[in-house]
Amino acid sequence: MNILYFAWVREQIGTGHEDLDPPAGVRDVRGLIAWLAARSPGHESALRDTSRLRAAVDQTFVDLDAPVAGAREVAIFPPVTGG
């Protein structure tokens, strides 16, 4: 699974991209975030407060309760600030 991070999530984790195989117990985005948070202190710091996070599965914006089974790409990021 291709995991992408953007903005301060990317900065705190220290990379914009990881290629990982989450265990079968990881069912939704929220579960994926909890699993990722244990990878390093940077992950923990960036992913601790899920109320500040948004996500996209296979390039579609989703709620954190969305399933991730079979997803090729999951992006995790703060709320967008374009324009």
Partner 1 sequence: MIHVRLQAESFDAGAELARVEALGGGGVASFTGIVRGDDGLTELLLEHHAEMTRAMMEALAADAAKRWDLLGVVVLHRHGALAPGEPIVFVATAATHRGAALDACASLIDRLKTQAPFWKRETFADGRQRWVEPRASDDAAAARWLRDGG
The H-or-E segment that residue 61 falls in is strand 60-62
Region of 20-28, 30-38, 42-50, 75-83 interacting with partner 1 (CB under 8 A): 75-83
Distance CA 64, CA 32 (A): 9
Does residue 8 bind partner 1 (CB under 8 A)?
A: yes
Region of 6-14, 24-32, 37-45, 63-71 interacting with partner 1 (CB under 8 A): 6-14
CB count, 10 Å around CB of 82? 3
| Shortest Å, Cβ 50 to partner 1 | 16
